[in-house]
Amino acid sequence: MMLGRKQLLIDGEWRDATGGQTMPVVNPATEDVIAEVAAAGSADVDAAVRAARAALSGPWGRLSARERGRLVWKLGERLMDRIDEVARLETLHNGKPIMESRHIELPMAAECLQYFAGWADKLHGETIPVKGKALVYTQREPLGVVAAIVPWNFPLLLAVWKVAPALATGNTVILKPASQTPLTALALGELAIEAGFPPGVLSIVTGSGATVGQALVDHPGIDKVAFTGDTSTGRGIMRSAADTLKHLTLELGGKSPNIVFPDADLDAAVRGATVGIFYGKGEVCAAGSRLLVDRAIKDQFLAKVAARTKKMVPGDPLDPKTRLGAIASKGQLERVLGYIEGARREGATLVAGGQRTDIGTGKGYFLQPTVFADVTPAMTIAREEIFGPVLAAIEFADVDEAIARANDSMYGLAAGVWTQDIKKAHYVASRLQAGTVWVNTYNVYDTAAPFGGYKQSGFGREMGRHALEYYTQVKTVWVDLG
Ligand code: NAD
């Protein structure tokens, strides 16, 4: 099935890339090319920046906060109206099960738009009692033009986590989706036009990270870069953004520990350990990819995890019953297989999965969900982000060793704790170096709850009230009353 040729959205118009180049979009479940999208260059980025700057001082800049909020709300409504179609696109270009895109992630994206729509007219400044005769007040103002650069694992949701607070607070946005998964960002552009956003308020530029992403990061007309992606890309962006001193938020990788104590509800912990790593094929920044299990229950617990894992069979992502889809790209499949091979070489014990597989069509980038036991903290699969359905089980002897092993990572995105002892749960939560700690649950999110990293998992927060601070700046006004 071919979805045709897709253009860039710049200044409210659909256009080809200036250089006329396009790039293919592949369905990872069939290996078919399903669309050609424009591959933008720096002239296109320039045009998008000009339009975004002009929009700041156009009708968009003159809207009241409430009217702005109403538009963002409407965008959420339009997304829900077209959710079946957009969810299908999300599944087609990423390989994720339609159950995840249609029933979890896109509804979350719509909710996120409507949550931030509600904040638009509730953010305000303060008056400050200073010495002397003066009235001093603050107001919150938008930063200006925001470049939102997002990865391929949650193409629309991670875009909306940036677009919603940025627009609700009065910025204009240029969105660059990952080159593998541009289709739903383009759909968001269509919905924004339908919702009535003025031209230039939301532009969508598709193309490679090295060209379009880098041009956005370097452009002096961009005020902020909101980035989600790999930690090494984030480091490069931080270096480049220094030249023009841009505001920056980075949501980067993770190697999150999921810690199981012997006093946990073990059946719930088994479910949490598997959902924690296999949701989204493990292509989840917060995936519970390190399973830390108390030595006393390790064998029994891992036997249950392995049994449950072996029952999880990848299927056609468009089938509503499928719970495990296709790895998002050939390159990613090869990368993950490389880690599996490396883990074997380093002496970890394979207890489930480990092989490429297919769904009877002989096509597609499918991988068996995989579990390794006897992983030591020094092994590569205990240290590096694999970004695939591979779980590394590591044992610990007591609470202190569990905490030390959990924190023994350059990352600090999330962590899970499984125990029925309330004191232990809160104590461990307080000691973990992670932006999110889940107790007796894993991989749950809410648009009102902030999410983001400690350590090299990045900085800034998305979702919740905290996100608003990263899209606004404070102006202090002094009025002489003397
Ligand atoms: P990536 O860093 O390769 O790409 C992310 C985006 O950056 C893409 O749009 C890409 O085109 C663009 N890009 C690449 N080079 C660039 C450059 N030099 N300048 C500007 N933009 C550039 O990451 P990926 O492989 O698409 O995504 C996987 C990574 O994302 C994983 O490491 C994962 O942990 C991380 N992630 C983090 C979170 C979080 O919230 N912390 C959420 C999801 C994914």
- Measure the N-to-C terminal CA separation of the chain; round to a whole number of Å: 73
Nearest Cα to Cα of residue 111 among 367, 452, 445: 445
Element (H, E) at 50: helix 42-56
Q: Which residues of the chain have pLDDT under 70?
A: 1
Ligand 1 center to residue 388 CA distance, Å?
Answer: 15
285 is catalytic: yes
Give the Cβ contact number of residue 444 at 10 Å.
9
The CB of 209 under 6 Å from ligand 1? The reply is yes
The pLDDT tens digits for 425-435 are 999 999 999 99
Quote the CA–CA distance of 143 and 120 in Å, as a whole number.
Answer: 14
* pLDDT tens track for 237-276: 999 999 999 999 999 999 999 999 999 999 999 999 999 9
Pairing of strands 454-455, 436-439: unpaired
DSSP label at 297? G
Q: Do you know the residue count of the chain?
A: 482
Cα distance between residue 120 and residue 111, in whole Å: 15
Query: Under CATH, what is the fold of the domain 257-446?
Result: Aldehyde Dehydrogenase; Chain A, domain 2 (3.40.309)
Q: Do the Cβ atoms of 40 and 206 come closer than 8 Å?
A: yes
The whole-number pLDDT of residue 401 equals 98
- CATH topology identical between 5-252+457-478 and 257-446: no
- Ranges of beta strands (E only) in 103-201 are 134-142, 145-149, 172-176
Non-local (6+) Cβ contacts of 307 within 8 A are none
Quote the pTM value: 0.97
**Which residue, chain included where needed, has tokens 């990368």?**
335
Q: Do 317 and 326 touch, CB atoms closer than 8 A? A: yes
State how far the Cα of 63 lies from the Cα of 61, in Å rounded to an integer. Answer: 6
Half-sphere exposure of 156 (CA within 13 A, CB side): 34
pLDDT score for 375:
98
Protein residue whose Cα sits closest to atom 20 of ligand 1: 213
Residue listed under structure tokens 């289709």: 183
Ligand 1 close to Cβ of residue 453 (< 6 A): yes
- Residue 364 is predicted with a pLDDT of 98
247 CA from centroid of ligand 1 (Å): 18
Q: Known catalytic residue: 190?
A: no
Phi, psi of 35 (to 5 degrees): -165, 160
CA–CA separation, 326 and 34 (whole Å): 15
Alpha helix (H) residue ranges in 120-182: 155-168
- Per DSSP, what are the bridge partners of residue 174? 147, 203
Q: Do 152 and 181 meet the contact criterion of CB atoms below 8 Å apart?
A: yes
Distance separating alpha carbons of residues 119 and 469, to the nearest angstrom: 12
- Asked whether the beta carbons of 204 and 175 are under 8 A apart, the reply is yes
Pairing between β-strand 8-10 and β-strand 33-38 as defined by DSSP bridges: unpaired
> What is d(CA 252, CA 233) in angstroms, rounded to the nearest whole number?
9
The pLDDT value recorded for residue 2 is 73
**Residue closest by Cα to atom 30 of ligand 1:** 229
Ligand 1 touching residue 230 (CB < 6 A): yes
Report the DSSP beta bridge partners of residue 366: 357
Q: What six digits make up the tokens of 353?
A: 């999965």
Collapse the DSSP code of 458 into the 3-class scheme (helix H, G, I; strand E, B; otherwise coil) and give the result: strand
Is residue 176 in contact with ligand 1, taking CB distance under 6 Å? yes
Q: Please name the helix (run of DSSP H) or strand (run of DSSP E) that holds residue 234, with its range, or none.
A: helix 231-242
Please state which architecture CATH assigns to domain 5-252+457-478.
Answer: 3-Layer(aba) Sandwich (3.40)
Catalytic residue (one of 100, 105, 283, 285): 285
At 225 the pLDDT is: 98
What was the pLDDT predicted at 1? 61
Give the distance (Å) from ligand 1 centre to CA of residue 279: 19
CB-CB contact of 333 with 290 (8 Å): no
- Rounded distance between C-alpha atoms, residue 22 and residue 463, angstroms: 33
User: What residues does each domain of the chain span?
Assistant: 5-252+457-478, 257-446
Which of 185, 202, 212, 240 is CA-nearest to residue 41?
212
